[in-house]
Amino acid sequence: MRGPFIITAPFATPEDTARLYGIPKRRAKELRKMVEDSLAKKGYVIGGRKEHTVSKNGASRNASHSHRLKVKVRANPKVKSKTRNASRRKTARAKARTAR
């Protein structure tokens, strides 16, 4: 078997590719958006670190964060009482009555 050949040339950027092929800027932008949107749906973080949706049971990290956030809100009694309607709060008189 022939040995591998080591490539030293840098990775071609999409701009280089578009320039070489003569793809108009507007079309290049459209194509780029199409691919990036599709990859974002698959769980890749565009323009940043790659993030695979390989957490347990197919749930992405983002999904588990949002879940955790929800649980936190529900478990917080202070937040819950704040959201309560003023007309439904027990008055001091009613509290005293139930305590008896």
Partner 1 sequence: MIPRVAIEIPGGTRRLDRIFSLIQDCEYSVHDLSRVQLDRAKPRTPRFNMPFELGFAVAWQMLGSGRHMWFVMESQNYRLAKSLSDLNGTDPYIHAGTIDGVFREMANALVRRGRQPSVLQMWAVYREVRGKIPAILQRCGTQTVFQARVFEELSFAANVAAGEIVR
The residues of the shown chain that bind partner 1, judged by CB under 8 A, are 1-2, 4-7, 9, 11-14, 16-18, 20-23, 27-28, 31-32, 34-36, 38-39, 44, 46-47, 49-50
| Closest CB 30 distance from partner 1, rounded Å | 9
- Report in angstroms how near the CB of residue 75 gets to partner 1 at its nearest: 37
Closest separation between CB of residue 58 and partner 1, Å? 16
* Tokens at 8, concatenated: 């030293």
CA angle 15, 20, 23 (to 5 degrees): 70
| DSSP state, residue 84 | S
**What is the rounded distance in angstroms from the CA atom of residue 27 to the CA atom of residue 36?**
14
